[in-house]
Amino acid sequence: MTIAREALARAVALKFLLSRRRSDRILKFVLEEIAGHLRNRERVELRGFGSFRTVEAEGHAYESEDAGRQVAVPPHLRCVFRPSKNLLKKPAKKRNT
């Protein structure tokens, strides 16, 4: 199951009695802050949830079946998420929403 940002914002709005617009702005702000720190290659830790960090992926080439030729992939950054021990050991709760 995939959850969209809008659904998260709606859940925040309901939980904290905020307008959807305000909860969406808060959520966007938090996500932009996390993304900014990751762009600066900083580690982001959310205790009880997990941590995010960026790693440099080496460039490589692969054979493209569509193009029928080698395609070069330049070095780039990847985002890695490591879940906390708490997140891994707790079973998912059924949601009534």
CA angle 34, 88, 91 (to 5 degrees): 115
pTM of the predicted protein model: 0.74
pLDDT in tens, 4-38: 999 999 999 999 999 999 999 999 999 999 999 99
CA-CA distance, 86 to 50, in Å (whole number)?
Answer: 9
Report whether 43 contacts 52 (CB < 8 A): yes
Q: Tell me the residue type at 49.
A: F
CA-CA distance, 42 to 45, in Å (whole number)?
Answer: 10
Q: What percent of the chain has pLDDT over 90?
A: 66
Quick one: 10 exposed, middle or buried, by C-beta within 10 A (0-12, 13-18, 19+)? Answer: middle
Q: Which CATH architecture has domain 42-91?
A: Irregular (4.10)
Q: Show me where the domains of the chain are located.
A: 1-40, 42-91
What pLDDT does residue 51 have? 97
What pLDDT does residue 69 have? 87
